[in-house]
Amino acid sequence: MKCMNASTVSEEDLYGATVSDDRQSVPLEFFVDYLDAVKRNWDSISEFKLACLEEDKDAARSALGDIPQVDELLLWRAPTKGSVFTTKERGFLKS
């Protein structure tokens, strides 16, 4: 698998075929993998959220650094698409 940037990879890049509903096309397998990634990385996700609340960028970077890249690709999705991270949390490290 080629190296992908988490901000540019799409679900279709990872899974190919999609399941359609009225709002969007997303593969069902993606949701299963996404929820598995949330469970596997819940401690790091919680640490990241706490670091954002405390405005501690070093702790936030460290928490995200503990998440394997393949899981980061799954987790780093738009809040409007059901992300575990809020818009504010996603922008925290950029500010």
Q: What are the residue ranges spanned by the domains of the chain?
A: 11-92
What CA–CA distances, in Å, run from 47 to 10, 11, 88?
26, 26, 15
Confidence of residue 3 (pLDDT cuts 50, 70, 90): very low
Please tell me the pTM assigned to this model: 0.71
Tokens of 32: 């299963």
- What is residue 24's predicted lDDT score, i.e. its pLDDT? 60
Strand partners, 20: 25
Greatest alpha-carbon pair distance for the chain in Å reads 41
- What is residue 28's predicted lDDT score, i.e. its pLDDT? 82
Tokens of 53: 């609340």
pLDDT tens digits, residue range 57-79?
A: 999 999 999 999 999 989 988 88
Handedness of CA 61, 62, 68, 71 (dihedral sign): negative
* Secondary-structure breakdown of the chain: helix, strand, coil percentages, each rounded to the nearest 5: 60, 5, 40
More confident residue, 79 or 6: 79
pLDDT tens digits, residue range 13-72?
A: 555 544 444 456 667 888 899 999 999 999 999 999 999 999 999 999 999 999 999 999
**What residues contact residue 57 under an 8 Å CB cut-off, 6+ apart?**
51, 92, 93
Strand partners, 26: 19
